[in-house]
Amino acid sequence: MDVQKFHTGKILIPVDFSDYSIQACAIGFNYAKEINAEIIIMHAFYTSFFPSSILLDDTFSFPLSNEEETKVMQNEAEKEFGNFLTFIKEKISAKEWPDVPFTPILKNGLAEDEIANYSQINKPNLIIMGTRGKNQKDIDLIGSVTAEVLDRVKEPLFAIPEKTPFSCFSEIKRIAFGTGFDQKDLIAANALFKMFDRYPVEYYFFHITQRHSGDAWNEIKIAGIKEYFAKKYPNTIIKYDIINGNDFVLNMERFIRNNKIDVISLSTYKRNIFARLFNPSMARKMLFHTDTPLLALRF
């Protein structure tokens, strides 16, 4: 990913017409205005291959063909999408959202497939998606569109829970960045700094370990990272911490609360389907166990 791309280009916002989609749009439009970017609003509807029927009365119905079913669903999707686009225009007219150029895209297919396909071809600078937050049911872990997209795209993805308290990047004051002391983490951190270089942000670098927080080898690695970033970004405020991973969710939530973290950022790596299902990545875990926005960066 080219860190220079953040200051122009396109921001992709997939929507499902929910409140958290609206929240994602609000943040996306404000950020697009600040970096002079175009918004792509995408909605995907899925037509199953199973026959359905139209009920004529209480006793009789006739089956729809796949073509007829697709047409019915497409008409409904076009209507809902049109209403959502009207809502966006009203927000702009009322000056609640900035007047940013946006392009609507309606696709017939699985949302995660269409988002991944679009991203692979058009390479947006950023994808912003709404999520339901940590209270969603466990069954949604596998089926969540945001989680699937997180594992499949190479572009930065900003997951916005429905209770996110801010609507623009300028309100973000503290960002936590997870590091495993990998070279790719340093590249991701550089991209993160570039993305927020116009905002007065404090950074909290954290490392998850199964050992005690005083582990000597981790301390040595942190000392090396401190030296690297102190030289490269002398005017940037960066703090460092080690989090015990034995009770990952509890300790992470405590870290977020104690440091008043606004956004968590993580670098992610390509994982096969078995690893994703049975050994979820830290980013995927955070997506389902926190109400804090998650910015995933892949290199």
The tokens 């790596």 sit on which residue? 269
Distance CA 101, CA 119 (A): 19
Which helix (H) or strand (E) segment holds residue 287: the answer is helix 282-289
Nearest-5° Cα angle at 256, 255 to 259: 80
Distance CA 107, CA 78 (A): 10
pLDDT one digit per residue (tens) for the chain, 299 residues: 554 455 568 999 999 998 889 999 999 999 999 999 999 999 998 876 544 444 444 444 445 556 777 788 889 999 999 999 999 999 999 999 999 999 999 999 999 999 999 999 999 999 999 887 554 544 343 347 888 898 889 999 999 987 899 999 999 999 999 888 777 888 899 999 999 999 999 999 998 887 654 566 677 788 888 899 999 999 999 999 888 877 777 888 899 999 999 999 988 765 544 344 444 566 666 666 568 899 999 87
Take residue 251 and report the two structure tokens written for it. 């300790």
Mind listing the domains of the chain with CATH numbers?
Answer: 1-54+63-165 (3.40.50.620)
Q: pTM of the entire structure?
A: 0.83
Distance CA 125, CA 228 (A): 27
